[in-house]
Structure 1
């Protein structure tokens, strides 16, 4: 389907897609191929190619197939390529050449076609396009799909030259395509809402984590102040972690930490470690022994140093 940005005639310098068309005069079989981007351009080219005096207004373009007046750019742009037109000048009336015969259409018919040249005939054009290529269903807009669904089955069957059963199946298929597009649209909308919610929730979680981190820093600062000011200092969380995870925690703790563990109340330490009292006392005893050994080392070094100086 040809697509244009709007029904108005192209502005100067504006590039439009050209539609291939076939032109002939009334009661003539000679056709001329032209390309135009709008009806105004097509009328001008028709007058030049077919040697029509422009003073014989109005210049009317009708479909060679059924005499439908084409006076709307939207309708023109919807027509398939190589559509056949008959050019009428002045008060000429369209005639349909079939096996050399002539069938005249009265002015009343022209008036009726002109009145029906809107939505009433657009569905016929869409139906013709569908008849030429069934795969063009995927190119139809939702408005065009709904248009063909709303057409009475008998009229659409006549236009397509198909049985009522076949056309009913076609309309059911068109309804399914329309429903799938609606479901896809709703799914996209739900996905967009979900992504927005995730983005919003991510921002909330990030703020919560920052608040918890700030609160943790404040608690650590408070705990440090309590340890420094209290006579009974509680071991820090890293000391408790070392006591729980290290097979011989007394070897990995500093002398200051060992002193804190040794001085801690066994019951309070057992609660903090979630241990029984015997295991807690054993660990405290090991820490006390390790602390004693570390305190004896400097003394031994001093004694050895004194002994050496006396001998010299």
Structure 2
């Protein structure tokens, strides 16, 4: 079912559910420790003030209404049959357990929704929240998506993340002890990181045996601290050629069992400062596939497990 040289998440979903499964992004009104209760604090250096994946989301609608609107689009465009409610912008465990339960239950109550994906930070998962997520893992198809971005504390400090790599490792192991599927997010092209450091993050994810991974190209957006650095000429931007080469290098190092949720993404066109080549997402994905073919390699070719 998957003719790619990597273990594609969408193919896994089709095998699990016997039909097309699509994520529907939901903004449930959460904030994060770096943004404060009203989302008005500076946040991470790269963070879009409106939150990741916010294009097309209507936060004024209820969770159920957002999902219903998303369903109509996915059915019309992709003939989707099943849906995952993806709690995406900001930190979607940054609230009391009772509020989390109410919102997650609302999402699962929408017809056709077979599971949840919850995006958050490793410092927003106290034991009682992890226990709650484990409940949803047992009763539905569930993914915990953890934003890590880099394993290097120097980079995390530069990004104003507010946590270190050890916090991630401890949270990751606590989640795995509860049986949760974990997808880890990494960003390629972060300021100050060289190729060896980027590949070290991939090798560490291989050592941990993460269930899934999302590789993100660093997008420089207007209205962010990163955007200020870019305008001042204080950071370098990856070329498409370098990005493609790095992605293939990283995937070759991952376990063949790790599900590839994403290999690139496209930033909001109205606020993207760089790299502008990223606006052609399919061109980038095709270039990644072509590089695998050129090398004659696949996911796990350099996995040392």
Greater relative contact order: 1 or 2 (C-alpha under 8 angstroms, separation 6 or more)?
2
TM over 0.5: no
TM-score normalised according to structure 1 size: 0.22
Larger Rg: 1
- TM-score by length of structure 2 reads 0.23
- The structure richer in helix per residue is 1
